[in-house]
Structure 1
Amino acid sequence: MYGIEIALHILMAIVMTLIFQGCLGSKSARKRIPGYFALLSLFDVIMLLACVFELYFLQKSMDGKSWAVILSQIFSCLDFLSYFSILAIFVMYIESLVSQRKSVSWIFAKIAVLVSVIYAVLWCISVFNGMFFYVEDGIYRKGKYYIFGQTGGYVVLLIVISFLVYYRGAIGPRAFLVLFSFVIFPVIAVVVRPFIHFFSIQIALSLSIILIFDFIYMYQIRLIGEQEAKIAEGKIALMISQIRPHFVFNVLNSIYVLCDKDPKAGREAIGNFSNYLRGNIHAAEKLNEVSFDTELMHLQYYLNLEKMRFQDDVKFELDIKERDFNIPPMILQPIVENAVRHGVCKKKNGGVVKISSSRAENFIVIKIADDGVGFDTKSISSDDKIHIGINNVKERLWMMCGGELDIHSEIGKGTEVEIRIPLKRDKK
């Protein structure tokens, strides 16, 4: 009676087991795939196998075997517990995905967990008292409070819809559609179940999880090689672009003059310039992130050179509250250089550039602010050198650590660049 349905659930359980092993199989996979997704896969396997044994013993119970009825009820409870666990874990999973790019409220997950726990218990009780459903002649029948029993799953799915819609900007259009399958597929299963009895909600959820795994993770893994190659190529170009001829000429000229006036200061300037050039070359050789202290040290060499050139016209202030984190190399200097060249140097009597770092919820926030002339952010053309440089930094931030960059500027008052680096992220 349930032969086709049992066979399909076994087949799906095998596929989901392979996905679960894929989540844990290699160190690289464990780093890139969140633990919530691994849990999602594990509970899906348990749900499918519970459903298999539930149907198997249900068939046996039709032959009048009382022990088969008890075993069918036990596996039915396990089926419901796994099902509602999957719903709750999925909400936590998508919240963890979005939290890597944007601060989120975990109220969605808390409500989903509460609803799932309550209804998991109620459905397990229903297995024995029939308030939501009961079995008659080997067929599931609707109980007196069946509609009420259905509301739990729909409430959690409504939470999923609300979260996906609210954070669709952070999720992205393609990922949004794939994650939305977790809602669409079960709804389709409910509609077609009366006509195609073997297309169960368990199968529908499993198909959605397979789609999510294939699109989000396999697609991302395929892109990793391309991104790393792009980062490697971009770093060489970045190194060359940062060692600008006019900057090198001005620094060497300043050192030349300084060697006559103050030989000790001249030697110190040569050391700073040497370390600065070495830092640029080393940055091109590194594919991964560096510690913030390393990046700050490289920036300090640049600041020392600028202090030598501009004296009191340009002042630098450091307010470092957080430093125990990693950052893509050569991120800070291009922004600070823009603040100097296009901000305070264009202001009469110069100004101040302030670099700060702090923690805000799930992010490290780095700010580079100047009190220079400011500019209209909307007026920058796509081929403007400032625009190209900032876009380069933005792209490397996103590709290497999921970071984001925003610019706030007001003409006559100055500019502030804010970098947000997520604390919870998959390190490559």
Structure 2
Amino acid sequence: MHQFNIALDLYSALLCLVLGVYVLVSGDRRDRANLCFAGICACNAVMALGDMASWMFAAPLDGVEHAVMLVGTFAFYVAPAPLFMFFTSYITAYLGKRTTLPYDYLRLSVALFALYTAGCVVSLFNGMFFRVDPATGYERGQLFWLAQVVPVILHLRNAWIVVHHRGCLERKELLGFASYIALPIVAEVVQVAFYGIALMNTAVALAILLVFLSIQSERKALLAQRERELAEARSDIMLSQIQPHFLYNTLAAIRELCASDPAEAARTVTDFSSFLRENMASLTSKQPIPFERELRHTTTYLNLEQRRFGDRLRVEFDIASRDFELPPLAVQALVENAVRHGVSPREEGGCVRVSSRDDGDEHVVEVRDDGMGFDSAAAPDNERIHVGIQNVRVRLAEGCGGTLDVRSAPGEGTVAVIRIPRTPQEPEHSDRRHP
């Protein structure tokens, strides 16, 4: 039986290590879900290798055997708590992309983890959870049952999270999470009742494999699909910025200027060609660009629109932060929404204000207009507004970890706020200049 248990533990450890390394090598190592899945694999591998030490040597133990068994047993007891914490973090990272979680599920897990780890450390000295004696080998302590309580609580808590948010999961995903919850519980019950059978590590390894097959690999395919959708979104963004009416109106303005003010017509042609060139470049750009460049492009667009609207379009800038990057057309798309759907429908026109500032550990860009506005609690009546805002929001999240918040009210105008986290290498203060 000992050789059988050793073989099961070794197989479980190798399987988990292979899956963990594969996810880190082939996936995005910045992705929280991938890191948590690799952490689950690593913890179970440590637990399996630690459990092997309990079966490798028979009492009485010499000095080396005693040390190996003591370290292995300690690793076996400590590993379940971080394993279930990684699983909690994995679930919340997975669900967080689909719904807003009501609160931090990890807070209780961290407290229980600290308490459980302290108990395992104390057991090295008083044997309350386990003891390893040179004469008798490994033995369960009098409070062994208590050592099972914390992992079970963490496990049941994970089960509750999955059940509570089951509406956000597809059937295959729900079955994958359910296997991770059910198999270890069954193995734990069997091990507590019948000492001598090493089922826990094998059950967890099998559950990890099922999660990998039903969730993690599917998730990778979904991420690849999302990349394709983002590429299409870039095309949509570019095309949405060059609408026929904008082209016609600008060309018509240039034609009139050719007769009345040739010098101004030449400047308008320069601005128009610069605008078109920047929009075309954004189609193939996958990396964030300096805010300074985006600001120049936005200013070019506003110059063109001011030639058309005249005094009906007033523009203000308050630029106090420049040294950061963001996806191309992020600000320009919001400014165009402000002009087209906020200011231009009003007979008296209105004002578009673009500002930027440092706000602690993030840069803030604000586009404000005093135009028509809309009910921000409902979808905008104009579907193009909704699509444009959503595209900017997705590209900010994917490109630089930024967010977009839009607030509006009918007759009061609209405020769009971009927040971009600072990077560690940035200077503490950006230069303060105005265009």
Q: Secondary structure at the match of 2:414?
A: strand
Match for residue 3 of structure 1?
Answer: 3
> In structure 2, do the counterparts of structure 1 residues 319 and 38 end up closer, same or farther at CA, with 3 Å as the change threshold?
farther
Q: Say whether residues 1:71 and 2:68 are aligned partners.
A: yes
Q: Counterparts of 1:186 and 1:362 in 2: how far apart (Å)? A: 42
Q: Where does 1:204-353 land on structure 2 (aligned, <5 Å)?
A: 204-214=203-213, 217-320=216-319, 323-353=322-352
Q: Say whether residues 1:116 and 2:113 are aligned partners.
A: yes
CA contact (8 A) 2:24 2:35 kept: no
Match for residue 152 of structure 1?
Answer: 150
The CA deviation at 1:142 is 5.6
1:18-43, Cα deviation, whole Å (9 max, x unpaired): 123224436x6434565555444333
CA contact (8 A) 1:353 1:369 kept: yes
The CA deviation at 1:70 is 4.9
> In structure 2, do the counterparts of structure 1 residues 372 and 133 end up closer, same or farther at CA, with 3 Å as the change threshold?
same
* Mean Cα deviation higher: 90-99 or 311-320: 90-99
Q: Say whether residues 1:42 and 2:42 are aligned partners.
A: yes
Match for residue 56 of structure 2?
Answer: 56
Q: Counterparts of 2:331 and 2:175 in 1: how far apart (Å)? A: 36
2:368 maps to a residue whose letter is A
1:334 maps to a residue whose letter is A
1:46 maps to a residue whose letter is V
1:51 maps to a residue whose letter is D
CA contact (8 A) 2:271 2:300 kept: yes
The CA deviation at 1:180 is 7.0
The CA deviation at 1:374 is 1.6
Match for residue 83 of structure 1?
Answer: 80
> In structure 2, do the counterparts of structure 1 residues 213 and 400 end up closer, same or farther at CA, with 3 Å as the change threshold?
farther
| TM value normalised by structure 1 | 0.77
Q: Counterparts of 1:422 and 1:161 in 2: how far apart (Å)? A: 33
Q: Say whether residues 1:13 and 2:9 are aligned partners.
A: no
1:150 maps to a residue whose letter is Q
The CA deviation at 1:275 is 0.8
Q: Counterparts of 1:356 and 1:196 in 2: how far apart (Å)? A: 68
Q: Secondary structure at the match of 1:354?
A: strand
1:341 maps to a residue whose letter is R
CA contact (8 A) 1:16 1:45 kept: yes
Q: Counterparts of 2:351 and 2:412 in 1: how far apart (Å)? A: 12
Q: Counterparts of 1:30 and 1:73 in 2: how far apart (Å)? A: 34
> In structure 2, do the counterparts of structure 1 residues 363 and 172 end up closer, same or farther at CA, with 3 Å as the change threshold?
farther
* Mean Cα deviation higher: 264-273 or 11-20: 264-273
| TM value normalised by structure 2 | 0.76
CA contact (8 A) 1:9 1:51 kept: yes
Q: Which runs of 5+ in 1 are unaligned?
A: none
1:225-283, Cα deviation, whole Å (9 max, x unpaired): 43333333443344333211211121122233334554443333222111100011111
Q: Secondary structure at the match of 2:303?
A: helix
CA contact (8 A) 2:318 2:355 kept: yes
Match for residue 433 of structure 2?
Answer: none
Q: Where does 1:106-145 land on structure 2 (aligned, <5 Å)?
A: 109=106, 112-126=109-123, 129-133=126-130, 143-145=141-143
Q: Which runs of 5+ in 2 are unaligned?
A: 424-435
CA contact (8 A) 1:101 1:402 kept: no
Work out the percentage of aligned pairs sharing the same amino acid: 31
